[in-house]
Structure 1
Amino acid sequence: MSILVTGGAGYIGSHTCLELLSAGYDIVVVDNLVNSSLEAIRRMKALTGQEFPFYHTDLLDRQGMETIFEQNQIDAVIHLAGLKSVGESVKQPLSYYHTNMTGTLVLLQLMQEHRVKRIVFSSSATVYGTTESVPIAEDAPLGATNAYGRTKLMIEEMMTDLHASDTEWSIALLRYFNPVGAHSSGYLGEDPNGKPNNLMPFITQVAVGRLKELQIYGNDYATPDGTGVRDYIHVVDLARGHLNALEKVMAGSGIEAYNLGTGRGYSVKEIITAFEKVTGISIPHTFTNRRTGDIGICYSDPSKAERELGWVAQKGIEDMCQDAWRWQASNPYGYQKDVYQYQV
């Protein structure tokens, strides 16, 4: 059984691939390396001692994607590829609509042509938009507030229509909350291009000395300490969720959405305090304006995933901070993108 993983060299993708390989799956990885690293592929192979095909291909390259389906017997797809920055999507909406939606359209068309009708889709909690109450369950009103979230919501709708037209399709829509942390080996982790958009890599880069101080976007939210509250989930727990969802889509047909989160919200200040406690390193920080498209409070009700997928997050906030720091301390400059001497 071969699982095609799009975006498999990225942060979530690499951890998901590692879990798939450890569980005995054969994988085929495709990634355009725009926001990921070939070094992550090499490290996955080193950690597992296993080989697998890797294609340096963009989903927008239909001919290149066709080659992947022709050269491999694909049984299911885990679709993680796409642009992912909320702030950047507000500034460059057309790039997000083109990359995320057209790339997914090409993928689904090829899956249909090759009769591969099982897919786990990397969606996002941003599809809920500005929520009136928390925790957020899957039946909450949908309405994204930025271009990134809208691409995820539109892809969910595209897949819903696809299933309605052909009920043989089996689809899991995984609505991620906020992935943080790294593999416990310190060998795989989050390595963003340029200045980090997400909180944890910003904190770890300050801690390792790459950045002077943490900028906190907004301290006037209607939260206990004024900073934004999010549901942070360890990336390894998130990766395990993909395996549970894969088992679900392989077992039958249908389309379902699942929240992957811990069900607990932490503010930015609480994350800083937890990180400082775990590492003993002080994180200097300043406050700046809110980012366009951000909301104050967002955390999940993950009970549906527990009931239907048998999945529950296992790692706490201190594990997330500790593993994130182990990765950054061992890799101060990430995967060192200027060095690609490895064969994969």
Structure 2
Amino acid sequence: MQTLIDFDRAPVFAIPTVHPVGGRTVREGMLIEGPQGWGEFSPPPTGDALLRWLTAATEPGTVGWPDPVRGRVPVAVTVPEVDAALAREIAVGSGCGTACVAVGAGPLADDVERVAAVRDGLGPGAAVRCDAKGRWDVDSAVAAVAALESAAGGLEFVAQPCATLDELAQVRRRVDVPIAAGESIRNAEEPMGLRLSGVVDLAVLATGPLGGARRALRVAEACGVPCVVGSTLETSIGLTAGLALAGALPELPYAAELGTRGLLAGDLVADSRSLVAVDGYLPVAPMPPAPQPGQLERFAVTDPDRVRWWRARLQAAIRGSDVR
């Protein structure tokens, strides 16, 4: 891998978020150029499994993605932890027929208002789902799911209401709303070894923490439940990997959670290549778009200490180790 890619020249970027997303106000990462194109290396600041993120970043520029079975995919807009009025505005403005609403970071009453506002904006025919990022205990999750389902007039599913698979299974037995695993899969030591049938109803898969589209497809084949494609707030270069996975899944029963471009204050590609959903869909591309030099310059990290931190993180991934 090191003979094919010049890691020392990988640019480091930082793009502010339009609204705080999971407590973050900026999205940082690196772009990796391989012989066939670009990939995105953007693990979270405290994340593990750096080698998986690097594998995902080098996949499009080396081995490429699995062959697609569809040319476009339906996408869900992500609604972050904002007030109800803004949540409604984000959902309606997206043009998507599905919304994934962030919950669990604050009072349940705020979550209920946010979900109700999204439902009001999208109408009764839209699909509304929630993502709690593992923030509740079992009893709190059961109560919250009931309140959110009532506010939404029906939920498609709730992702990761609790932290562990055992807790998710307990919640699933006590509620009627389908329960999905997300972080429990991403953070697993061996995601390909997970067997989720009877534990959860579906799996949310993201390419970065799972090692790319090909590896995520293998997780989907092995886990035993229907799959949803998720995002980790990538730029359009990173989002194309999620689209490759969504395009290659044999069945795609749920809209992919790839409607996140509007959460960032900019992008690294030309406006014409930026992945903004049209009529609720995004196209599956054979390879990522190349970064635009002007955008790379605009969002370049210039703090030498921060650049060194990212280069150390990349080197740790190359060695197959981890740094904090």
Q: Provide TM-score, normalisation by structure 2.
A: 0.31
Q: Provide TM-score, normalisation by structure 1.
A: 0.30
